[in-house]
Amino acid sequence: MPIQNGAFCAHFGGASHFRIIDAERATGNILEQQDLEAPEHVPGAFPKWLGRQGVHAVIVSGIGQRAVQLFTVYGIPVYIATPGASSEELVALQTQGKLVQPNAKECCPGHGHEHGETHSGHCH
């Protein structure tokens, strides 16, 4: 999940770090977590980098259509959550099947700009 200032970041592309969580699939109990510094934000970098980290799913709030498509190429499902929840709450919601996957033809809620606009590099 994208992280900014130690908390879940509302905008995927504006994250300074990503929290990689190893959790039990059946219970959602977190076994291990680490925050890794995000690579430079260039188109396509985050999905490719997260795939190399062994990520099996991502939890985001705002994300662009292209990033969702790239995660699909890497076989990594994307789940949408609202900002403000803790990592533990988000993992529990995902494990319980309470997070939805975005429509591949539109941006996720909270993305905050039209396609083709540049990101400001911050979280909303």
pTM above 0.85, yes or no: no
pLDDT given at position 96: 93
Determine the residue type at 107: C
Going by their DSSP bridges, the two strands 17-23 and 2-4 should be labelled as antiparallel
pLDDT tens per residue, range 64-122: 999 999 999 999 999 999 888 999 999 999 999 999 998 755 444 444 433 333 333 33
Q: Are 54 and 3 in contact (CB under 8 A)?
A: no
What are the backbone dihedrals phi and psi of residue 19, each rounded to the nearest 5 degrees, phi first? -90, 120
- Protein fold of 2-95: Nucleotidyltransferase; domain 5 (3.30.420)
What are the backbone dihedrals phi and psi of residue 112, each rounded to the nearest 5 degrees, phi first? 80, 5
pLDDT tens per residue, range 30-71: 999 999 999 998 888 999 999 999 999 999 998 999 999 999
- For the chain, the structural domain boundaries read 2-95
Strand ranges, E, within 1-124:
2-4, 7-8, 17-23, 30-37, 58-60, 78-80
